[in-house]
Amino acid sequence: MTATTNHLRTALGDTLLSVREAVDTLGVTPWWTRRLIASGDLRAINVGGPDKSARWRVAPEDLAAFIRSRENRSRDLLR
């Protein structure tokens, strides 16, 4: 974990997930997760800055909203 990531986690109350953490939750590849971010399907924050490569962070509630948007039927029907 980088110093920037540690600082973000401290400043924001440990609320942002790295792409790797989002990948582990979604069960897809890092490439696919970055593609979802690039297309706007998965909301994320670029903490890399304008002169650096992108370093994306995802809020857990945005990841949960993405997962809910992909459900093909209501949870009420699964009982």
SS3 readout for the chain: CCHHHHHHHHHCCCCCEEHHHHHHHHCCCHHHHHHHHHHCCCCCEECCCCCCCCCEEECHHHHHHHHHHCCCCCHHHHC
What is the per-residue pLDDT across 20-76, written as a single tens digit (0 to 9) for each? 999 999 999 999 999 999 999 999 999 987 787 889 999 999 999 999 999 886 666
Q: Which residue has the higher pLDDT, 31 or 7?
A: 31
Phi, psi (degrees; rounded to nearest 5) at 41: -70, -30
Q: What is the pTM of this model?
A: 0.70
Contact 8, 46 (CB under 8 A): no
Q: Which residue has the higher pLDDT, 3 or 51?
A: 51
What integer pLDDT is reported at residue 20 of this predicted model? 96
